[in-house]
């Protein structure tokens, strides 16, 4: 689903779910156009422990795994930037008024970057 930036800009973001996987990995799942899964797409993103702690703290029972497990996820949104993927996690102030924002390298997450870009283009 395409949503607006939590920072108040009009930039489009793609909304999805994420949760911690072992090894400081954020596992994200997208419902939408088929990517690398029948329900949409999934990617594993290396992030810091502070990000994982915030995501885990903000999981919601409304967000259950799209893969059919009973795992619970956190709502996240992101958009591709030139050299990064910019993430926004909403739920109380962390490093932003709306919650937490962070970036990961495009180079290390090219599949995720491409899927986000395609999702935004397809929605227009």
Q: So what's the pLDDT on residue 98? A: 81
Each of the 124 residues of the chain gets a pLDDT tens digit; together they read 999 999 999 899 999 999 999 888 999 999 987 889 999 999 999 999 999 999 999 998 889 999 999 999 999 999 999 999 999 998 767 778 888 999 999 999 999 999 999 999 988 7
pTM, 2 dp:
0.91
Location of structure tokens 């995720």: 112
Quick one: tokens of 113?
Answer: 């970057």
CB–CB of 28/76 below 8 Å?
yes
Cα–Cα distance, 56 to 13 (Å, whole number): 21
Measure Cα distances from 90 to 6, 14, 24, 38, 114 in Å: 8, 13, 20, 27, 23
Q: So what's the pLDDT on residue 92? A: 67
The tally of domains found in the chain comes to 1
Nearest CA among 123, 121, 111, 120 for reference residue 41: 111
**Domain span including residue 98:** 2-123
Q: So what's the pLDDT on residue 97? A: 80
CB–CB of 107/81 below 8 Å?
no
């Amino acid at each position: 689903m395409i949503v607006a930036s939590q920072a108040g800009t009009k930039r489009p973001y793609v909304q999805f779910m994420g949760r911690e996987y072992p090894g400081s990995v954020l596992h994200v799942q997208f419902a939408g156009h088929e990517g690398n899964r029948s329900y949409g797409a999934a990617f594993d993103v290396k992030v810091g422990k502070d990000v994982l702690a915030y995501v885990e703290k903000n999981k919601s029972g409304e967000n259950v795994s799209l893969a059919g497990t009973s795992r619970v996820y956190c709502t996240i949104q992101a958009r591709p930037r030139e050299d990064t993927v910019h993430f926004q996690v909403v739920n109380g102030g962390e490093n932003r008024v709306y919650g937490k924002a962070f970036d990961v390298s495009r180079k290390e997450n090219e599949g995720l970057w491409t899927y986000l870009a395609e999702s935004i283009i397809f929605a227009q």
